[in-house]
């Protein structure tokens, strides 16, 4: 199917009411040409989540991130702020570092050009005979970076509105939990064999929880009681609420939590910030995914979790607590991986056909409308 036909189908689907909506056309997941458009109009024009600010707490702490085709270094500066710089040497474009760590400077492993943690070039051997060499003009390129409620967001779009502006309607929903104070307990990366949209769509809907996650996050709550938030027309995010019943092992406020009361002590909010940042924010913990496509059939996932500070403070054995929480969430990931890789295999099959959506998948239809708005603007 041609790109034009896929986009026309997508546009027509987005115009339908939820009661008449289906899953998107399967070529939306399998077409390399669609992915190229997404890289330009979705990922290249959006704020993307690179992780949590407390992952790099001290001056000189850094971690790397792939912002689409652009490798990035996220650095905690001497002033305590976090900045983002291109992870490419200004000489021959070699990557400077991989992973995470702490450094007082970054030295290129190719020709030893060396940069301070503020991005300035501080030394470059054997450049004294090069007339066009101007050290002050060869700092690592700066990339827009903002901190919102403890999340690090980056973008290549010079014209993008600030994160706090784009998420202004979400702020009063999430700020009551004080997510900026949650303590990160792990963050890691994985690559799954699926299209990135399969993951986004899977995370947004709770329809599958009692089935695919009946022994983990699908337990101890009634899916029919989920409530959907009103993000407003054209918003770049959606969210929903769910509550955990008494006795649930996760999702309820600790006794030392004194800022949540009433129903909020066992209510979680589940935002999805389009295109690819999704998280569960509970009274006692949060966990998140941030996605990057590496092809139509491969998705790089940054996956992590954090605990409310009072949960950490009350733990007799912090290491054991972290291990317990991570084991639980890892099991959720195994369950989800089975589902989303299976969906993608089905989308490649000749008889695979997108079917009608449930009312519980209304956020999926909002995501379809978001994609149509980003990809179908040129249709006449």
What residue ranges define each of the domains in the chain, with the CATH number in brackets?
A: 3-45+164-375 (3.90.380.10), 48-155 (2.102.10.10)
Alpha carbon distance 36, 57 (integer Å): 36
Residue 136 pLDDT? 96
Helix (H) or strand (E) holding 244: none
Residue 221 pLDDT? 64
Does the pTM of the predicted model rise above 0.85?
yes
Q: CA separation (Å) from 7 to 28, 254, 298, 363? A: 8, 48, 22, 20
8 A C-beta contact, residue 114 and residue 108: yes
Helices 196-204 + 362-375 axis angle, to 10: 140
Helices 318-347 + 196-204 axis angle, to 10: 120
| CA dihedral angle for residue 187, residue 183, residue 157, residue 141, rounded to 10 degrees | -80
Alpha carbon distance 16, 21 (integer Å): 6
Residue 380 pLDDT? 42
User: First-to-last CA distance in the chain?
Assistant: 18
The residues near 199 (Cβ < 8 Å, ≥ 6 apart) are 192, 289, 291, 299, 301, 336, 340
The residues near 115 (Cβ < 8 Å, ≥ 6 apart) are 96, 105, 106, 107, 121, 122, 139, 140
Omega before 275 within 30 of 0, i.e. cis:
yes
Give the residue ranges of the chain where pLDDT is below 50. 380
DSSP state of 140: P
């Amino acid at each position: 199917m041609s790109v034009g036909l896929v986009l026309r189908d997508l546009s027509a689907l987005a115009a339908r009411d939820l009661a008449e909506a289906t899953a998107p056309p399967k070529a939306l997941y399998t077409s390399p040409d669609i992915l190229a458009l997404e890289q330009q109009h979705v990922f290249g024009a959006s704020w993307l989540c690179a992780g949590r600010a407390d992952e790099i707490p001290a001056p000189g702490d850094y971690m790397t991130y792939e912002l689409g085709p652009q490798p990035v270094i996220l650095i905690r500066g001497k002033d305590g702020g976090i900045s983002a710089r291109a992870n490419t040497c200004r000489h021959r474009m070699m990557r400077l570092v991989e992973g995470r760590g702490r450094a007082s400077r970054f030295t290129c492993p190719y020709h030893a050009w060396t940069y301070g943690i503020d991005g300035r070039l501080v030394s470059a051997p054997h450049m004294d005979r090069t007339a066009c060499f101007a050290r002050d003009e060869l700092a690592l390129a700066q990339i827009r970076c903002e901190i919102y409620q403890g999340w690090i967001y980056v973008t290549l779009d010079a014209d993008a509105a600030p994160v706090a502006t784009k998420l202004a309607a979400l702020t009063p929903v999430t700020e009551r939990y004080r997510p900026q104070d949650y303590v990160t307990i792990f963050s890691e990366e994985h690559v799954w064999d699926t299209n990135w949209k399969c993951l986004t769509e899977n995370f947004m809907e709770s329809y599958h929880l009692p089935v695919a996650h009946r022994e983990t996050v699908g337990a101890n709550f009634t899916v029919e009681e989920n409530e959907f938030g009103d993000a407003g027309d054209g918003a770049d995010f959606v969210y929903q609420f769910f509550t955990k019943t008494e006795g649930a092992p996760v999702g309820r406020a600790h006794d030392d939590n004194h800022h949540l009361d009433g129903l909020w002590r066992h209510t979680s909010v589940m935002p999805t910030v389009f295109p690819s940042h999704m998280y569960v924010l509970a009274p006692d913990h949060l966990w998140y995914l941030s996605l990057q496509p590496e092809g139509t059939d491969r998705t790089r996932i940054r996956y992590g979790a954090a605990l409310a500070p009072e949960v950490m403070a009350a733990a007799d054995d912090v290491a054991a607590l972290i291990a317990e929480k991570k084991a639980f969430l890892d099991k959720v990931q195994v369950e989800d991986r089975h589902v989303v890789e299976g969906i993608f295999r089905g989308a490649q099959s000749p008889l695979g056909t997108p079917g009608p959506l449930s009312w519980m998948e209304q956020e999926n239809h909002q995501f379809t409308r978001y994609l149509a708005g980003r990809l179908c603007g040129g249709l006449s």
